[in-house]
Amino acid sequence: MKRYALALLLCLCATAAGAAPQRIHATYDMKKGGQQFAVVTETYTQTGKTYRIESDTKGIGIFALFDKGGIKLVSSGEVTRDGLRPLHFEHHRGSDPARLVVADFDWDNNVLTLKYDGRTETAKLEPGTQDRLSLMYQFMFMPHKTRDMVFHMTNGRSLERYQYNAAGEEQLDLPAGKFKTLHYSRQHQSDEDGTEVWLASAKDYFPVRVVIEEKKGGRLEQTLTQLSFE
């Protein structure tokens, strides 16, 4: 594996495409305002040069009464020398087909097709674009050598530019264990959600904690409780 110097932290910590595990199983607790309301279960599978990620969010306790089937995200595509290249993304809310959100990536023609609320829209497909789910796994393929990482990301409804700035190195004690992490913070405007992510350096820079400061004032926290690599 070729290594790159991370100037900010003065350490060697890079990953190359294809170096990530072939299968990952992870679970997270989801909290809002400090109260747990859901459990997230995710599976990443790489077969040859293709990948598939599935994420299921289920409400717990009283929140399960309003869950109505939970939320399921699916991302599939190719694994390239630059990491993940999505081809198809789905966002399911329960079993209602009217609430399905889909993004299709036509890399040959640089066209992103978005389908939601009975509408179909297209946008220019920017190089390196990720979907809402693949973005978190793309960190494993990024050379962590600079203060900034820039992506374009789609949630199936729009396409936005994300810039993450390095915020330092932190040691986290989580339910899944103790992790030495690199902390990144999203650069954002006042009318956008703020996102912070902690990547475990000894686990291929897998996200072990994510905090979202919602533009409306809420706070979502996703914390790793179990992790297995194969």
Mean pLDDT of the chain: 86
Separation in Å, CA 49 to CA 45, 76, 77, 85, 103: 11, 11, 9, 10, 20
pLDDT tops 60 at residue 2:
no
pTM of the model: 0.86
**Confidence bin at 189 (pLDDT 50/70/90):** low
Give residue 5's pLDDT.
30
Which of 19-28, 66-75, 85-94 is least confident? 66-75
Which of 165-174, 196-205, 210-219 is least confident? 210-219
Give residue 142's pLDDT.
83
| Percent of the chain at pLDDT exceeding 90 | 64
CATH number of residue 16's parent domain: 2.50.20
pLDDT digits (tens, 9 = 90+) for 71-101: 999 999 999 999 999 999 999 988 788 889 9
Buried-exposed string 166-202: b where 16+ CB fall within 10 A, e elsewhere: beebeebebebeebbbbbbbbeeeeeeebbbbbbbbe
The Cα 102–Cα 115 span in angstroms is 5
Q: Where are the alpha helices (DSSP H) in 19-173?
A: 134-138
Provide the number of structural domains found in the chain: 1
The Cα 9–Cα 79 span in angstroms is 28
Give residue 12's pLDDT.
30
Domain carrying residue 217 = 5-229
Which of 10-19, 161-170, 203-212 is least confident? 10-19
